[in-house]
Amino acid sequence: MAKPLLKIQRYFRRKPVRFFSLILLYLTAGSLVFLHAGFVGDNGPGARGARDSLIASEMGSWASSDTRGLGLMSRVFKEKRRSGRRFGPPWMKKTRQEGLGMVGRGRDYTSNWNRALKGRNAKDLDDGRAKYIGCYIDDTQKRALRGVSFFDYKKMTVFRCQDNCAERGYMFAGLEFGAECYCGHKIQAPNASDSECNMECKGEKSNVCGGPNRLSIYRLELSQESARRYGSAIFKGCFHQPDNVTLALPFSAVIQNMSVDKCVDMCTEREKSLAVLAGDRCYCGFPTPLFSLHELEDEGMCLNRCQGEEFESCGNDKYFVVYQTQVQDNRCMDRHFLPTRAKQLVALASFPGAGNTWARHLIELATGFYTGSYYFDGSLYNKGFKGERDHWRSGRTICIKTHESGRKEIEAFDSSILMIRNPYKALMAEFNRKYGGHIGFASQAHWRGKEWPEFVKNYAPWWASHTLDWLHYGRNVHVVHFEDLKRDLFTKLKGMVEFLGLKVSEDRLLCVEGQKDGNFKRSGLRKLEYDPYTPEMRSNINELIRTVDAALKKRNMSGVPEEYMPR
């Protein structure tokens, strides 16, 4: 035994570099084994059991104060308590890991829907998204669809055209020459024989995309929120003439052969956000308390054919047709950090998918101050949320976004605006964000796979416990329902600004109404063709809704909106 050891000693004496290399490898291997053992120990059954027992005990304490339905929550709630880490809770970490996993495997889940359509003729599709209505003649001098258009001579597909038109709020999408997409609100051309639309789509050989000077046109089934458009202008509706029209709309001109295009173009040149048609006169201006666009009239009152456009109405002396131009209303675009450090921290709390980002957009425009975040999201920072990079305790932002629901995290704030959304909508919105990004969509494979049932099982109880925690532990809580904010933005947003202790500017709020969507609004086209909720899911969620409704009423607040309640 001594001779072999002596030989090894002499070998490393002659080769010292190899000796030190061997020692280094040994230490590295030992460190990796030690670290692995540490990670396994943190996530072992004992650790999970301790966390679950802590959650069960907390949910049990709720049962003593709000008994109805909370037994169900304590049985099914498995979500781990989120720590106070600055860069995001575990559910966000899990999403990032899953996203990295998808990239690593080289899979493109966003294209699953298009792959599912292959082999089926788009003319046969009528699944709630779009309906084929026929082949129409198109003239390069006078287009059948006169909204926006785009071309792709390599990858054009029927769904891509439909989705682009729906995202911009158009009612019709038309494909021509295999690669051209046109959008519009009215078809201003006669139809042709279906046999004349005979060119395959450049990016989808199994479907037809019109032909030479022929459009394959689809009617889009848009969500109610989708805006009606004429070209680049958004149709706002029919309104009664304001009492002092020259003060409310100071710029006007009589236009020969009046058309929507001519009035919109004139007001765009004058850098006004409203184009108002009143017969042969065009008014330009901004929404003001004198002309707020809050009292919508029946469109039949504005029926008066434009002299220069037979398919459009131009209003009359008493009832005006109003369009919003592409001109940005700058009265609410200036945003800054607070001039002095805030003495109190105000949370903007919500369950994920309940409209927190949208609320931040509205608050920033209405107040002129940046909002902060408990986390950091680079995509939000790049979209203009400059408070995203500030530490949430910096005191430089007007309020702080958070999805946290632990007692320690809630009590760190002095007051809070609590956003609540219908759980059926909130769960679907968060599922889309998780698997499709802020304005993307989860693929059909995710909806029909194991991901959706597992997601509902884990997240639905959190929807209820999040609200209950903030009602129980929060100090000075101002509840805002997402649906109420959408229905009456002016009034609800005004209440939020007043809660933040700021003076309300009506002109600024009217400016916000014209730019309420922001950069994170999903297209209204991709509706699921089936109800993703099973009867068992609905039974559990309905019980959670009743529990939250009872908790709100117990604190002398209005309960959940009627559309939440099971029928």
- Neighbouring C-beta atoms of residue 251, cutoff 10 Å: 15
On whether residue 69 sits in a domain, the answer given is: no
Each residue's pLDDT tens digit, 176-233:
999 999 988 788 899 999 999 999 999 888 899 999 999 999 998 765 445 677 767 8
On whether residue 451 sits in a domain, the answer given is: yes
SS3 at position 394: coil
Instruction: Say yes or no: 281 and 380 in one domain.
Output: no
What pLDDT sits at residue 109? Answer: 27
How many CA atoms within 13 Å lie on the side-chain side of 344?
11
Query: In which element (H, E) is residue 207 found?
Result: strand 204-208
Instruction: Say yes or no: 399 and 515 in one domain.
Output: yes
What pLDDT sits at residue 521? Answer: 62
Query: From residue 5, how far is each of 2, 8, 11, 239 by CA, in Å?
Result: 5, 5, 10, 99
| Cβ atoms 265, 258 nearer than 8 A | no
- What residues does 477 pair with on adjacent strands? 416
What pLDDT sits at residue 326? Answer: 86
On whether residue 247 sits in a domain, the answer given is: yes
Instruction: Say yes or no: 357 and 270 in one domain.
Output: no
CA distance 493 to 504: 10
Query: SS3 letters for 143-175?
Result: CCCCCCEEECCCCCCHHHHHHHHHHCCCCEEEE
Please give the single-letter amino acid code of residue 534: T
Most confident of 38-52, 147-161, 218-232, 471-485: 471-485
Please give the single-letter amino acid code of residue 146: R
What pLDDT sits at residue 17? Answer: 57
On whether residue 460 sits in a domain, the answer given is: yes
User: Residue 303 is encoded by which pair of tokens?
Assistant: 């029926």
What pLDDT sits at residue 416? Answer: 97
SS3 at position 126: strand
CA distance 13 to 149: 78
Please spell the DSSP secondary structure of 445-465, one letter per residue.
HHHHSSHHHHHHHHHHHHHHH
What pLDDT sits at residue 6? Answer: 61
Chain-centroid distance, C-alpha 235: 22
Please state the rounded mean pLDDT for residues 530-536. 90
On whether residue 58 sits in a domain, the answer given is: no
What pLDDT sits at residue 396? Answer: 96
For residue 519, what are the contacts with CB-CB under 8 A and spacing of at least 6?
361, 383, 384, 439
Of 441 and 481, the one with more pLDDT: 481
Furthest-apart CA pair in the chain: how many Å?
Answer: 113
What pLDDT sits at residue 186? Answer: 81
- Could you tell me which of 516, 468, 499 has the C-alpha nearest to residue 399? 499
| Cβ atoms 463, 423 nearer than 8 A | yes
SS3 at position 472: helix
Instruction: Say yes or no: 498 and 367 in one domain.
Output: yes
Instruction: Say yes or no: 392 and 536 in one domain.
Output: yes
Chain-centroid distance, C-alpha 330: 23
Give the global pTM: 0.66
Which CATH number characterizes residue 415's domain?
A: 3.40.50.300
Length of the chain: 567
pLDDT at 89 over 50: no
Q: At what angle are helices 451-473 and 535-554 packed, to 10 degrees?
A: 10
On whether residue 27 sits in a domain, the answer given is: no
User: Residue 263 is encoded by which pair of tokens?
Assistant: 């009035």
Q: Tokens 């005191």 appear where? A: 395
Instruction: Say yes or no: 308 and 413 in one domain.
Output: no
What pLDDT sits at residue 345? Answer: 96
Instruction: Say yes or no: 295 and 368 in one domain.
Output: no
Please state the rounded mean pLDDT for residues 58-67. 40
Sign of CA dihedral 167, 170, 172, 176: negative
| Cβ atoms 150, 168 nearer than 8 A | no
The domain boundary residue, chosen from 203, 220, 237: 220
Please state the rounded mean pLDDT for residues 113-118. 32
Instruction: Say yes or no: 384 and 466 in one domain.
Output: yes
Instruction: Say yes or no: 238 and 176 in one domain.
Output: no
Interior angle at CA 487, CA 549 and CA 529, nearest 5: 80
Instruction: Say yes or no: 465 and 545 in one domain.
Output: yes
Each residue's pLDDT tens digit, 23-62:
767 677 665 544 443 433 333 333 333 334 333 433 444 4
On whether residue 12 sits in a domain, the answer given is: no
Quote the DSSP letter at residue 239. Answer: E
User: Residue 64 is encoded by which pair of tokens?
Assistant: 């003593």
Domain that holds residue 377: 346-564
Instruction: Say yes or no: 524 and 440 in one domain.
Output: yes
- Could you tell me which of 333, 387, 392, 396 has the C-alpha nearest to residue 360? 387
Instruction: Say yes or no: 422 and 521 in one domain.
Output: yes
Q: Where are the beta strands (DSSP E) in 409-515?
A: 415-420, 477-481
For residue 560, what are the contacts with CB-CB under 8 A and spacing of at least 6?
420, 422, 481, 545, 548, 549, 552
What pLDDT sits at residue 90? Answer: 38
| Cβ atoms 478, 496 nearer than 8 A | yes
Number of compact structural domains in the chain: 3
On whether residue 483 sits in a domain, the answer given is: yes
